[in-house]
Each structure stands twice: as structure tokens, then as C-alpha cells.
Amino acid sequence: MDYSSDPLPGRESRLLIPGLAPLYRVFHQLYWPLIRVTVGGTLLAHGINKLMGPGVSGVAGSMTRVGIEPAIVAAAVVILLETVGAVCIILGLFTRFFAAAISIELAVITFAAHFPNGWGWTSARGGWEYPFLWGLIFFAIAMRGGGPMSLDRKIGHEL
């Protein structure tokens, strides 16, 4: 059985520990949902914090400070992506659409808000390392789609 996600037919990954082949079979089906649940859940926590904390007007104030306008619309979109979009990523529903939109959001966060602070996330005011990493992960999800254990696959349509 081919355990790789390599789209080239006939290429098979070599198992790191061949004796664990049954375990690889199980995890081959679970790794992509695990990635979706992990990054979607992390993003959902950020969205809930924004929604229950500063709300749309508070997030809009932060956006105005870095020059993003119309800030109120952008804040509403960010909160929507980080709540509804995150839940959809977790479920694998409209995965490509939401992952692409979230990766665009994270590109804006990376370059508009954090790029002037330098690379390291631990630098004062947070650098661009962390949002850039998360943006690339969501970009990869947008390219790959929901995977075999997703609602997209169940409904037979990957947006």
C-alpha cells in the first residue's frame, strides 16, 4: 500500500520502521484530519478571543493603527474567517475556499502588522515568523483540500 501523499503514480514512500506497517496504515488516514483539526482549532481559539474580547470594533481599531481600511469590514471578515472558517477547516467543509481566504488573511497580518517588527515571533511586538508559518500551513491545506476524511469528500465536491 502506498502511504505517501506523492501525486506521482507508482512512487511509494519507504517506511521508517517497516514493522509498524499496520500503524502506518491507520495513521495514513488520520494525519490530514489531525492537521486540519489542530490548525483549525488553534485559529478558532483566536477567533473566539477576538469575538468575545475586543469584538469587531476593537479588532477594527487594531487594523486602523496598521493602516488597514475599511477597518470595520476587514475586522468582521477576520472574525468570520477565524470562527466560521476555522470550524469549516476542522470539518473539512469548503476547505479550499476557507483555507485560501485564511492564508490571504495571514499574509496581510504577516506583512502589514508584523513585518516591521522583524522576523522572530519573540521580538518586541511579535515578528512575522509565526503568522507566516501559519499562512503557509493554510496555503498547503488550500492546495491539498479536505482530504479523504472530510465533509467535502462526503458531499463529493471540493470547492
CA dihedral for 145, 151, 154, 155, sign (positive or negative): negative
CA-to-CA distance for 64 and 57, rounded, in angstroms?
A: 10
Q: Which of 20-24, 90-94, 109-113, 116-120 has the highest mean pLDDT?
A: 90-94
- Reading the block at residue 88, the C-alpha cell is 469549516
Confidence (pTM):
0.85
Instruction: Give tens-digit pLDDT for 27-72.
Output: 888 999 999 999 999 999 999 999 999 999 999 999 999 899 999 9
Q: Domain segments of the chain: what residues?
A: 20-147
